[in-house]
Structure 1
């Protein structure tokens, strides 16, 4: 049977009038589909000298937890020929400092770029506590729930791999805010489409696909892991096919918007995600290596759109033709 993706969401007039690259996601208008992925862009203001956030669709901040976290021992990041591996350990200054110091500084930098806050927790109730604590904070227009975190009160299993825990996390966050909730899923979930359905049924307005893939890089001279923690999350160009497939699979299962993430280094990569069903495309590792790259991707997407006679880039979302 031929797989037919659900139609792309109709753009409200305010979005359609915003320009040919505009996207509508969870009630928000993004001026273009390129967003900075969580973790690699800090809280935005750290990049003010090298990135013009106002040229992008938006930014997903570094993770925020209830309490400050020191993270994992160094080294936390290592490069290898196929990409990068990291085990930062979700280090962050905690809810109160982010609200008091970081978000006001970010708010002073953006008016067109949308801001989503990445939320982490290590017990079911902690996600909603962060959401509630930042619901009226400056610049915040929505939340990305990183359910790849370990549930330390349930043996360390990821929230996203436990259907009951996932449902409880999303439902509690839904009660804590009326702002958009985006649930970030792991690519190694055995039934990612079913997990996506549970997240949406529980109140998610959109989904991010995907997170990093677990891996291990070895320092062969030292005969030990390259990272201080041991294993870590693999990112980089090799994740594009993994993320695109996950995006396509979830696109068949649910009708909410998708943020495609993993390995994007060019407009060509971004278009693969868009055609597979994503409305936004996150750039992470590549932006760390070249902070100007996201702006070039925006420019090249517009050139592709013009060259192919596409009036609105949103019209190509989910139009991948699967072989019969």
Structure 2
């Protein structure tokens, strides 16, 4: 029997596949009703901030040939409502599903407040610090591009909660390794990389940007080689477990990320083409590993053989 279960800090995953933050809302979007979420390795909820936010101007999403651009922003009802209305319901429906809560804000104090509330709710298994969103005017990526800020923020949250912390890194930096090492020094339990790549699309007829917020984050298959490269670099430079994200569409893509150094993966844009992509990947992964003569997916972590 091919083993695809993975153990990470705070997360006991039956398979290494979960949705990227924002993809499945709070487990309450239409897609989430189409299959049993227990087929996921874990559920990652949309980023939560201290107060309700409405996100960016429409249009917020542009589907491209080889990816998706979005400038949704951090639309959410605020941490208190997320706990009382969203997480309570999700946990009641899925008592055994590992849940990862994504933490956002405009200041370090915001991040600490949200992290403490989510951790003390006892409804989540791990926290993902979103220090890498390119679609918000304050907070977001502005935190994730400064090593010292990432280290200090991680340290503050780590000292305020017992829940394992994963720091989500932005690719929009000169040296992602420097940021990863800063998160490690701050006491992070793991890393998630990468978030979207800042991009711009223009409608040549109207001469207007495709997105209401002008620029936005590019995700999808087009960014996969960039994500795989960053995962490999960070795996070689830190000892933290990595959750890889960026353009995963097939079981082969999952294995590629794991060979680069990821222990698990998150899937986002592929949902635009297949709403059941996660259960489909979880089904195909053991078959692929069997063909590759691999008995345990954990044996592949970081096993790329560089020239």
1:244 to partner: Cα distance: 0.3
1:163 to partner: Cα distance: 2.2
Correspondent of 2:113 among 113, 129, 132: 129
1:157 to partner: Cα distance: 6.6
Q: Tell me the secondary structure at the aligned position of residue 296 of structure 1.
A: helix
Report what 1:161 is aligned to: 145
Report what 1:194 is aligned to: 178
Report what 1:9 is aligned to: none
Report what 1:43 is aligned to: 26
- In 2, the alpha carbon distance for the partners of 1:182 and 1:244 equals 18
Correspondent of 1:108 among 78, 82, 92: 92
Structure 1: runs of 5+ lacking an equivalent:
1-16
- In 2, the alpha carbon distance for the partners of 1:152 and 1:165 equals 17
Q: Tell me the secondary structure at the aligned position of residue 45 of structure 1.
A: coil
Q: Tell me the secondary structure at the aligned position of residue 304 of structure 1.
A: helix
Partners of 1:193 and 1:253 within 8 A in 2: yes
TM-score, reference length from structure 1: 0.90
Partners of 2:197 and 2:219 within 8 A in 1: yes
Report what 2:8 is aligned to: 25
- In 1, the alpha carbon distance for the partners of 2:168 and 2:91 equals 24
Q: Tell me the secondary structure at the aligned position of residue 35 of structure 1.
A: strand
Q: Give the direction of change, closer, same or farther, for the CA distance of 1:317–1:222 in structure 2 (3 Å limit).
A: same
- Compute the RMSD of aligned alpha carbons: 1.9
Structure 2: runs of 5+ lacking an equivalent:
none
Q: Tell me the secondary structure at the aligned position of residue 85 of structure 1.
A: strand
- Check if 1:250 corresponds to 2:234: yes
TM-score, reference length from structure 2: 0.94
Q: Give the direction of change, closer, same or farther, for the CA distance of 1:34–1:149 in structure 2 (3 Å limit).
A: closer
Q: Tell me the secondary structure at the aligned position of residue 43 of structure 2.
A: strand
Q: Tell me the secondary structure at the aligned position of residue 287 of structure 1.
A: helix
Aligned runs of 1:158-307 on 2, under 5 Å? 158-307=142-291
- Range with bigger deviation, 54-63 or 289-298: 289-298
Q: Give the direction of change, closer, same or farther, for the CA distance of 1:112–1:274 in structure 2 (3 Å limit).
A: farther
Report what 1:309 is aligned to: 293
Partners of 1:99 and 1:134 within 8 A in 2: yes
- Check if 1:66 corresponds to 2:47: no
Report what 2:305 is aligned to: 321
Aligned length: 305
- In 2, the alpha carbon distance for the partners of 1:59 and 1:269 equals 20
- In 2, the alpha carbon distance for the partners of 1:121 and 1:198 equals 19
Q: Give the direction of change, closer, same or farther, for the CA distance of 1:224–1:48 in structure 2 (3 Å limit).
A: closer
- In 2, the alpha carbon distance for the partners of 1:51 and 1:240 equals 26
